[in-house]
Amino acid sequence: MKNVSENTINRMSIYYRLLTYLARQGTRTISSKSLANVLGIKDSQVRKDLSYFGKFGVRGAGYDVIELSRKILAILGLEKGRKVAIIGMGNLGSALAAFRGFSDFGFDIRAVFDNNPNKIGRTIRGHLCHSMEDLRKFVKSESIEMIILTVPTEQAQETASRAVETGIKAILNFAPVRLNVPAKVRVNNVDLALELKKLSYFAGKN
């Protein structure tokens, strides 16, 4: 399989969301053209994206909604549900701990962590907050593969390094810094202030 671009993975996730919606509505099959129309993209884009991973359609008929959604779930590595920990129980971390959108899509928040003694031992949005000291133990016992990092910017690098040592595979980083981690660990960044800045630029263009 050749190298697949991040854009394609983006769209695969979006296809998946639409397909599960269609499945709930009882739609059995769909063509690349209909899919593309709903999403405002080209049908050839849909077919090209899928072609990176295999042949999922039936010529003349289209794609089986349920089958394709299952295939995409497997491609994204979500068939079995990914175990996730959140580190940093500030405003954002707490909000994410309560966010329904995660568990709805196969993600399982297994534990939340902070280094603030006032928070450790307390239940935050249904999750018992643990000490950072216990991270390694949980990563092992709960098979945690991914962490969501919502600590203050100054602590992000150090916390990330500690987490990497425990064996996690991927980090969703909300701090506005480039984390320095081994190549085998994947880091995706969400920078909320940057999103607003971008929006500001495009808002100015009217």
Partner DNA sequence: CGTTGTGAAAGGGTTCACAGCT
Partner DNA sequence: AGCTGTGAACCCTTTCACAACG
User: Which position among 13, 20, 47, 166 is part of the footprint of DNA (CB under 7 A)?
Assistant: 47
Looking only at residues 11 through 40 of this chain, which bind its own copies when binding is defined by CB under 8 A?
Answer: 12-14, 16-17, 39-40
> Buried b / exposed e across 132-146, counting CB within 10 Å, b at 16+?
beebeebbeeeebbb
95 binds, among its own copies, DNA, none (CB under 5 to 8 A by kind): its own copies
For DNA, which is the closer residue by CB, 104 or 195?
A: 195
# chain residues binding its own copies, by CB under 8 A: 57
For its own copies, which is the closer residue by CB, 4 or 58?
A: 4
DSSP assignment, residue 86?
Answer: E
Query: 160: burial class by Cβ within 10 Å (0-12, 13-18, 19+)?
Result: buried
By CB under 7 A, residue 61 contacts DNA:
yes
User: Which position among 94, 113, 144, 151 is part of the footprint of its own copies (CB under 8 A)?
Assistant: 94
Tokens of 136: 């390694």
Query: 16: burial class by Cβ within 10 Å (0-12, 13-18, 19+)?
Result: buried
Q: How far apart are CA 148 and CA 173, in angstroms?
A: 6
By CB under 8 A, residue 178 contacts its own copies:
yes
User: Which position among 60, 101, 117, 126 is part of the footprint of its own copies (CB under 8 A)?
Assistant: 101
Looking only at residues 22 through 41 of this chain, which bind DNA when binding is defined by CB under 7 A?
Answer: 31-33, 41
Phi, psi of 128 (to 5 degrees): -70, 125
- Residues engaged in binding DNA (CB under 7 A): 3, 5-8, 31-33, 41-45, 47-48, 50-51, 55-63
